[in-house]
Amino acid sequence: MTNQSIAMRDAFGQALVNLADKYDKMVVLDADVSSSTKTIEFGKIKPERFLNVGVAEANMVDIAGGLATCGLRPIVSTFAIFLALKCTDQIRNVVCYNNLPVIFVGGYAGLSDSFDGASHQSVTDLAIMRAMPNMTVLVPGDPTEVQTALEIALENNGPTYIRLSRNPSPILFEKQPLMEISKNRKLSNGSDITMAVCGIPTFMAIEATEKLMKLGVSVDLLQVSTLKPLDIDSLITSVSKTGKILTIEEHSVIGGLGGAIAEALGKHCPVKMDYIGIEDVFAESGPYPELMAKYGISVNAIVDRVKNSMEK
Amino acid sequence: MVKTEIKRIDSQKLLKETNLSKKAALLQYLAQQCRIDVFDILHEKGTGHWGGAASAAELITTLYFHIMKVRPNEPEWAERDRFVLSKGHASTMLYTVLSNRGYFPQSELSTFRTLNSRLQGHPCMNKTPGVEMSTGALGHGLSVTLGMALSAQLLKKKFWSFVLLGDGCLNEGQTWEAIMAAAKFKPERLVLMIDYNKVQLDGNSDEIMPLDPLPEKLKAFNWTVAPKVYDGNMVSDIIQSWEWMQKQTDWPLAVIYKTHKGKGVSFMEDNHKWHGAPIDEDNYAKGRPELLKTLKDLEVQS
C-alpha cells in the first residue's frame, strides 16, 4: 500500500480517455452527471461518441441496447443508485435478456455519496445486478483496477456491471499483477480465519489484517473483484484451512458479496460465516469515513468482529 | 369446425411486382392472409393477443414487403433496415410476416408459445431470425430504435430505423424520454410509426389514458409529424406515407396511423376485451368466415 490516493471517479474518467483510441467502437452515455462521474473527460476528446441523454436513465440504457445491436460498445454511466433501480427493467429486458455487450458503470456506489444522504446511497446494487442472468459483476478494489476492469468489460461479449466509489482510495495494487476476471487476489496468508472483501473496504481489511496479526490472529485475506462469476475455488481452499469466514463490503448484508459467498460455500463447503456490511437499514448524511464507521464498516469494526469470533 | 383452406399468395413473386397499385392490392391480400393465419394460430393455441396483432397486419406486411431493405437469408446483414415491434404482444403478426418473407418456415408458426419453440410469447431476438429486438414490456421500443438510428449515424450507414408503438407504449414515461432525446440528437432515417387503434387492455385509451392531441404533442416535442393521419389498415395509404417519409430531411419523423384493434372480425373490432382473450370455438366459428369473405373480396381486386 502507498500513501497516495486517487478518487475512483477520477481513475474512471482517465481510464476512458486512455482507452478511447484503442476501442473505437466505444460510446459513452451519461445522464446529466458527467461532471460528477468524470465521463465528461471522454466527452471532451471524443464528442461524437459521447451522448448526454439528460436525466432519463431508463432511456439511456435502452439507447445503449440499440447501439450494442449494431456493433458499438456502449458504456453507460450514472450514479449506481439510479442505474440499479431506475433502469432495472431496461437492464433486464433489453440488455441481459439479449446478452448485449453493454457496460454499466455505477458511480458513487455504497455510502460514498455520503453527504447527499440515503436517497443517493446505493447499497443494494450488487444484489440486483448479480441476480440478472448473463451479467458479469466487477468491483475494483483500488484506483489501479478501474482501467483493468473496463478493459475486461470491453473484451466481454455480454453485459458487465462495474461498481465504483466516488471517493479517494489508497493505491494498493500498483506493483501487483493485474486484476483478472473471476480470480480472487490473495492479500495475506493465514490459518485462523478467512476474510473476503470487495471495493473500498479492501484497504481497511488490509489494515485490520495487520492489526490482527499483531494480536496473534492470522488472517487469510482474499480480495474479490469479480462477484459474478465468483471464484469459488480459492474460497473453498481458504475456508478448508481456516474453518470460518468474514465477508466485508460497502453494501447491504443482503445479497452482495456476503450473499454470493454464502450461496457458494453453503453448497460446496459450509463453514461458520459472518458478514460486515450495512445492516438492513437506510443510512444518512454525513462525512464518509464517519458514516462508514457508524454503519459498521471500519478497521476497528473488522478487528472487533474477528476478535469476537475467535473468542467464541 | 372444419377449417376452410385459403388461397395463398406467392409472396416472393409479389416482391418483384413493379406496378405500384397492383402491388398495393397484392399486399392488402397478403396482410389479410397473415391475419387469418394469426387468427388460426391463436385459436389453436388458446393463448396470445389477437387485437393488437390484427391491428398491425397491413403495417408490418408493407414494411417487410415494400418499405424495408432486408435479406432474409442473411438476417445479420449490416446494412439492413431495422424494425422494432415495441408493442411486442403483436408477436404473432410479426412471426407470420417474417415467415412469409422467408426468415423461417411457415410450418414453424404452429409452435408459437410451446416449449422449445423459437417463437416465444413475445419477440425474442436471440431465438427468432429477423427479430431485431426482444420486446414485451411496453415502452422500450423507441429508445432502442433511437440507439439503432444513432448507430447508423456513428457508423456512417444509411439504413432506416422503424419502430411501431401502440397506445400502451405511449402511456409509458420512457417513451416520452425517448421522444425528447430523439428530437435532441435528430438521427437521420428514424421513424416512429404509431398503430393508433385507441384501445388498450382495460378499455379505450380515451378512458384509460387520453393521448390526444397526439400530432400536436409530437410537434411540440420538435418532431416532424406527417401532415395527415393515414389509414393503417389500408396498404395504399401506408405506401403513401412511405412516399412522404422519403421526401423528408428534418428528423426524426413520426407517422400516426388510424387502425382498428381486432380488425377484420366485426364483433372483435375496437373492443378491448379482445386484447388478449383466447379465441374459443364459438367465436372462432363466427369470426373466421368474416375474415375469409374479406380475403375473397380482395382476391377479386388483386
* pTM for the full predicted model: 0.97
Cβ atoms of residues A170 and A199 within 8 Å: no
> Does any domain span residue B24?
yes
Task: Give contacts of B151 with chain A, Cβ < 8 Å.
Answer: 66-67, 69-72
Residue B13 falls within a domain, yes or no? no
Residue B23 lies in a domain: yes
**What would the 3-class secondary structure string for chain B be?**
CCCCCCCCCCHHHHHCCCCHHHHHHHHHHHHHHHHHHHHHHHHHHCCCCCHHHHHCHHHHHHHHHHHCCCCCCCCCCCCCCEEEECCHHHHHHHHHHHHHHCCCCHHHHHHCCCCCCCCCCCCCCCCCCCCCCCCCCCCCHHHHHHHHHHHHHHCCCCCCEEEEECHHHHHCHHHHHHHHHHHHHCCCCEEEEEEECCECCCCEHHHHCCCCCHHHHHHHCCCEECCCCEECCCHHHHHHHHHHHHCCCCCCEEEEEECCCCCCCCCCCCCHHHCCCCCCHHHHHHHHHHHHHHHHHHHHHC
Of B260, B249, B124, the residue nearest B187 (C-alpha): B249
- The answer for residues whose C-beta is within 8 angstroms of residue A267's C-beta and 6 or more apart is none
Min distance A259 CA to chain B CA atoms (Å): 29
Residue B2 lies in a domain: no
Instruction: Locate the DSSP E strands across chain A.
Output: 5-7, 26-30, 50-52, 73-79, 103-107, 136-138, 160-163, 168-170, 185-188, 193-197, 219-223, 226-228, 244-252, 272-278
Q: Say what the pLDDT of residue A2 is.
A: 59
User: Which of A49, A59, A69, A99 would you mutate first to test chain B, the one with the most B CBs within 10 A?
Assistant: A59
Q: What is the pLDDT of residue B175?
A: 98
* Most A CBs within 10 Å, among B153, B154, B162, to test the A interface: B154
Return the residue of A nearest to B148 by Cα: A66
Domain range for B294: 19-301
pLDDT(A312) > 90: no
| pLDDT over 70 percentage in chain B | 98
The helix-helix angle for A201-214 and A299-311 (nearest 10°) equals 50
pLDDT in tens, A89-136: 999 999 999 999 999 999 999 999 999 999 999 999 999 999 999 999
CB of A109 within 8 A of CB of A85? no
0.95 surpassed by complex ipTM: yes
Closest CA to B298 of B14, B1, B2: B14
Residue B206 has pLDDT above 90, yes or no: yes
Residue B178, pLDDT > 70, answer yes
* Averaged pLDDT, A12-30: 98
pLDDT tens-digit map of B212-228:
999 999 999 999 999 99
Whether the bond into B252 is cis, omega within 30 of 0? yes
User: Which chain A residues touch B if contact means CB-CB below 8 Å?
Assistant: 27, 48-49, 51, 53-54, 56, 58-59, 61-72, 74, 89-90, 93-94, 97-99
8 Å CB contact of A98 and B125: yes
Which of the four pLDDT bands, split at 50, 70 and 90, describes residue A309?
A: confident
- pLDDT tops 90 at residue A222: yes
Are B140 and A62 an interchain contact pair (Cβ–Cβ within 8 Å)? yes
Instruction: Determine, for residues B147 and A56 on separate chains, whether the beta-carbon distance falls below 8 Å.
Output: no
> Residue B12: inside a domain, yes or no?
no
Within 10 angstroms of residue B112's Cβ, the number of other Cβ atoms is 22
Domains of chain A: 5-170 (3.40.50.970), 185-307 (3.40.50.920)
Res. B126 pLDDT band, cuts 50 70 90: very high
pLDDT at B302 over 90: no
Please say whether the beta carbons of A76 and A102 come within 8 A.
yes
**Facing residue for A59 by CB, picked from B134, B149, B181:** B181
pLDDT tens string B13-65: 999 999 999 999 999 999 999 999 999 999 999 999 999 999 999 999 999 99
Give A280's pLDDT tier (boundaries 50, 70, 90): very high
**Mean pLDDT across the stretch B144-167?**
98
CB-nearest partner of A56 from B136, B177, B185: B177
- Identify the closest residue of chain A to B126 by CA–CA distance: A98
Average pLDDT score over chain B? 96
Instruction: Give the confidence band of A1 by pLDDT, cuts at 50, 70, 90.
Output: low
Chain B residues near residue A24 by CB distance under 8 angstroms: none
Write the residue in B148, B178, B180 that is nearest to A70 by C-beta: B148
Contact A257, A247 (CB under 8 A): yes
Number of domains in chain B: 1
Contact A66 B133 (CB under 8 A): yes
Q: Do B147 and A89 touch (CB under 8 A)?
A: no
CA distance A75 to A146: 14
Chain A residues with CB-CB distance to B158 below 8 A: none
Q: Say which CATH number the domain at B140 has.
A: 3.40.50.970
Q: Hey, of A26, A28, A63, which one would you mutate to test binding to chain B, going by the most B CBs within 10 A of its CB?
A: A63
B291 in a domain, yes or no? yes
The per-residue pLDDT for B1 is: 66
Of B147, B155, B180, the CB nearest to A54: B180
